[in-house]
Amino acid sequence: MRTAFTSISRGLLLIAIGVIFFLINYDILSWSFWFHVADLWPLILILAGIGLLFSRKIPLSAVLLVFLLSMVGYSMVMGDKPLPGQMNNFFHTGTTESKQINVPLPSDVKKASVDLQLGGAKVYVTALDSEVSEPQLMTGKYQGTKQNDAVGREVLDLSTQQSGDTLDVTLSSTAFGRNSDPIKWSDLELNLSRKVHYDLDVAAGAINGTMDLSNLLVDNFKISTGASNFEMEFGDTGITTRGKIDSGASKLTLVIPENVGITIRLNGVATSTNFMGSGLLLDDKSWVSPQYANALTKIDLDISMAAGSVRLERSKTSLQ
């Protein structure tokens, strides 16, 4: 009996997830629906506690099914939760502060390690204008909402340290006030030099925006985030870029030129893709483009996503 109940709950869970994605695709629900996880996660503990109270083991699939249905009902009643770029209007008790970002590029630096530690952020990353007069590693602007009691700290902490020909840069928005209220959501515009190679590490509660790496020499990147909706664009840079993306419920768009070789290893129980119709071939557990072995530029990705979608668009753009 328990085995049958487990099988039924798993089937209903998959059906519920499919229905939710249909509702999102037809704009009955929005992608910000997944942000309600932060409001309702204690319900999982309550359901598990009820099972223990009656000495019954409730299957995880049944717990998740009830949790998803509760999220749908909650979203219908409360409406959409604001996306990261709208959150400055959501936290009425805070004040908006901004900071200009300017990091010079020393003449002996050939590589940069950039570490972004953010809360919920609307992020736009692109290449610096090649005609910038003064050599800069990065420029940009950060805008965040700081709680009224958050005194004595910058809206953004920026630190740099050079070791040989490598410059380490850390940007962090984890400032806290007297009542441990962090700076909540932020807008980050970041322009990076085209002259150096990069290792990028982005850790954020949520990301909404665009990371245009098409004119940047990115050797490695790692992105760790929760519920997100963002686009990553790559170019024909002549190097191999290796990336790892770990996310919760997210919508990810990859824009990659047609002549660039691609390998994507995807892990996700409820993640949909368009890889089958985009020219990629399934080789064991990896999606690989036919010209991967002979391609001058290669993109090697590991993507772990709890639920959501990954869409691949093949462009004809190249490094400029």
Render each residue's pLDDT in the chain as its tens digit; 320 residues: 456 656 777 777 778 777 777 666 655 666 666 666 666 667 777 777 776 666 566 677 777 777 777 777 666 555 555 444 444 444 444 567 788 999 999 999 999 999 998 877 889 999 998 766 678 999 999 887 655 544 444 467 899 999 999 999 999 875 443 344 444 557 899 999 999 999 999 998 778 889 999 999 999 999 998 777 889 999 999 999 999 999 877 889 999 999 999 999 998 766 788 888 888 998 888 999 999 999 999 999 999 987 778 999 998 754 44
In degrees rounded to 5, what are phi and psi of residue 167? Answer: -110, 120
pLDDT of residue 248: 77
d(CA 41, CA 63): 11
Q: Classify 309 as helix, strand or coil.
A: strand
Sheet strands (E) in the chain: 94-104, 111-117, 120-127, 136-147, 157-163, 166-172, 185-192, 197-203, 206-212, 217-224, 228-233, 240-257, 261-267, 270-273, 281-283, 286-288, 298-315
Burial of 159 (0-12, 13-18, 19+ CB in 10 A): exposed
Cα 209 vs. chain centroid, distance in angstroms?
A: 9
**Whole-prediction pTM value?**
0.69
Tally: H helices and E strands in the chain = 4, 17
Residue 272: per-residue pLDDT: 82
DSSP bridge partners of 139: 102, 191
pLDDT score of 5: 58
pLDDT of amino acid 156: 75
Coil/strand/helix, residue 71:
helix
Give yes or no for a contact between 237 and 153, defined as CB atoms under 8 angstroms apart. no
Supply the DSSP symbol for 289. -
Which tokens belong to 222?
């790692």
3 state DSSP class of 259:
coil
- 8 A C-beta contact, residue 169 and residue 102: no
Give the closest residue to 316 by CA, choosing from 240, 257, 253: 257
